[in-house]
Amino acid sequence: MNTPLITLIIPTYRRPQFLKRAIRSVLLQTFPNFTLLIVDNASGKETEEVIREFMQQDPRIKMLKHSKAIRVAANFQSGLEATTTPYVAFLPDDDFLGPTFFAEALKGFELYQDIAFSGAQDNIWIDQENIATIYCPKPSPLPGYYPPPKGFVFYVGNSIKIPLPSALFKTDILKKIGGFDMNIHTSIDGDLIGRCSMLFPIYLFTNNHLYFFYQNPESVTNHGNVSFNEEDCRRLHENLLSLSQSKEIEAIINGLFEYKITALWEKTVKHFLKTKNFSQASIYAEKLCAFANSPQRNRWKKQALLFERASPIGSLYLLLKGFERGLRKTFKKKKEKKTMLPEHPEAAYWKEYALFLEQPQ
């Protein structure tokens, strides 16, 4: 067998059934020269048994096991530090790859040796209702080579979605920039890709549908404000701002921060209203009023001041009811917009492929 060129890292934690599907999607890659490194974050016996069963079937599979659970970024970083191949990629244990991901991503490195990563756009989102759509269906930039900071401008300035698992990275570049930020809990993908595209050229390719988000009840995306927190948002902002070399880039970074923090606080208020934690909802409502500039939020701010002067006891209830009505309208529009997206013409094939991966080979 040829020397492996790629290490595919699957960080896993107590999701053995999903892990099986992810592993099978890697083993079915048309490009065979890879190592599959599964980083087990102290999942327990069942997950270890699944991994060892696959290891007996294929010598390309390795396991790195932690005796105690560590943070998400540390789990990813431990896999990166153990990587010795020229290229590295990452796959969450509840998602899967299309069979030509490695082959397509390597084409970028064949064309350009100096790129930090070769990243696929137009990836697929399969939700809990089994509806398959394009993830972030916005116009994509033309595929090709983007030197810094042009790649960063396209990535952040145009809200282009390049998820961490849809990119193949050059290992030495990731190690050169320090890999994953241990101080970030959730948005490690945006931070890493942002820093790479700020400092190094990147290559984008599109219309291949090679990475599949598969939403399930355990997905981070189902946990409201848990999926992104204020500390992470500010840390990401600081990391990117420290690399900025122009006022134009600073403006883009600040715009990203304002968008992220506003969306976060909106989601957090909604979460605490739903769970009837009114004290926390009030805290984030005040933050949102003070930070945002939209006419709707300015009205909420004025209402909050009037309520506070009129009746300190009733002000919280009235303020939160006002936020609740506004948020209901906002999220209703977002939900309607999402449900209006047509299912992709190839959806039946992707769903069938997902079912195929779930079956013993």
Please give the pLDDT value at position 196. 94
- What is this structure's pTM? 0.79
Please give the pLDDT value at position 189. 87
Residue 67 pLDDT more than 50?
yes
pLDDT digits (tens, 9 = 90+) for 170-191: 999 999 999 999 999 878 988 9
Q: Where are the domains of the chain?
A: 245-339
pLDDT digits (tens, 9 = 90+) for 151-168: 888 766 555 567 788 899
pLDDT digits (tens, 9 = 90+) for 292-333: 555 555 555 555 555 445 444 444 555 555 555 554 554 454
Residue 81 pLDDT more than 90?
yes
As a three-state string, the secondary structure of the chain is CCCCCEEEEEEECCCHHHHHHHHHHHHCCCCCCEEEEEEECCCCHHHHHHHHHHHHHCCCEEEEECCCCCCHHHHHHHHHHCCCCCEEEECCCCCEECCCHHHHHHHHHHHCCCCCEEEECCCEEECCCCCEEECCCCCCCCCEEECCCHHHHHHHHCCCCCCHHHEEEEHHHHHHCCCCCCCCCCCHHHHHHHHHHHHCCEEEECCCCCEEEECCCCCHHHCHHHHCCHHHHHHHHHHHHHHCCCHHHHHHHHHHHHHHHHHHHHHHHHHHHHCCCHHHHHHHHHHHHHHCCCHHHHHHHHHHHHHHHHCHHHHHHHHHHHHHHHHHHHHHHHHHHHHCCCCCCCHHHHHHHHHHHHCCC
Residue 107 pLDDT more than 80?
yes
Q: Does residue 72 or residue 301 have the better pLDDT?
A: 72
pLDDT digits (tens, 9 = 90+) for 267-280: 787 777 677 776 77
pLDDT digits (tens, 9 = 90+) for 209-230: 666 656 555 555 444 434 457 8
